[in-house]
A and B are shown apart, each in its own frame.
Chain A
Amino acid sequence: MIVYKLKSQDVDKVKGGQFAPDCYFNPVQDVDGNWIISIEELEGIQNPDFIFLTLKEDGEYVNVTPIEYKPVPVEL
Chain B
Amino acid sequence: MRKTLKVVAFGGGPADAFIKAAGITDSTQQTAIKTLVNDLNGYGLWSKMLGIYPLVGGTASSHSWNLKDTTKLKMRWVGGMTHDSNGVTGNGTNSYGQPDITGTTGINATNYPPLTATNYGISLYQRNTSVEYIPQIGFGYADGYFLSSYGGGTTSYFRGISLSQVSGTNSNKTGLFHMYGGSGVGSGIVNGTKVATGTGGQLQNPALGTFLWFGANNGAGYSNRNFAFFTVSEYLNDTEAANLYTSIQKFQTTLLRQV
Contact = CB atoms under 8 A, between A and B. Distances in A.
Nearest to A28: B94
A20 B79 CA distance: 11
A11 to B, nearest CB: 13
**Which secondary structure dominates where chain A touches chain B?**
loop
Nearest to B150: A76
Contact of B91 (A23, A25, A38, A74): A38
A52 to B, nearest CB: 19
Nearest to A1: B93
B93 A21 contact: no
Given A24-B76, A24-B78, A76 B134 contact: yes
A71 B93 contact: yes
B133 interface: yes
Interface residues of A, number: 22
Contact of B94 (A21, A22, A27, A44): A27
B76 A41 contact: no
Interface in B174-227: 217, 220-221
Interface size, B (range):
20 to 34
Contacts of B134: 74, 76
A50 interface: no
Contact of B77 (A3, A23, A71): A23
Given A22-B75, A23-B77, A26-B79, A38 B133 contact: no
B64 interface: yes
23 contacts: A21-B60, A22-B60, A22-B64, A22-B74, A22-B75, A23-B77, A25-B78, A25-B79, A26-B78, A26-B79, A26-B80, A26-B96, A36-B94, A38-B80, A38-B94, A38-B95, A40-B81, A40-B91, A41-B79, A41-B80, A44-B80, A74-B134, A76-B217
Contacts of B64: 22
A37 B81 CA distance: 12
A1, A69, A76 — most chain B CB neighbours (10 Å): A76
Given A22-B76, A23-B60, A26-B78, A40 B95 contact: yes
Contacts of B145: 76
A3 B217 contact: no
Nearest to B157: A76
Contacts of A51: none
B60 A37 contact: no
A43 B82 CA distance: 11
A21 B80 contact: no
B77 A37 contact: no
A55 interface: no
Nearest to B135: A76
The 4 closest A-B pairs by CB, nearest first: A40-B80, A38-B80, A26-B79, A22-B64
Interface string A1-41: 10100000000000000001111111110000000111111
B61 interface: yes
Interface string B148-192: 001000000000000000000000000000000000000000000
A3 B220 contact: no
A63 to B, nearest CB: 18
Contact of B217 (A69, A71, A74): A74
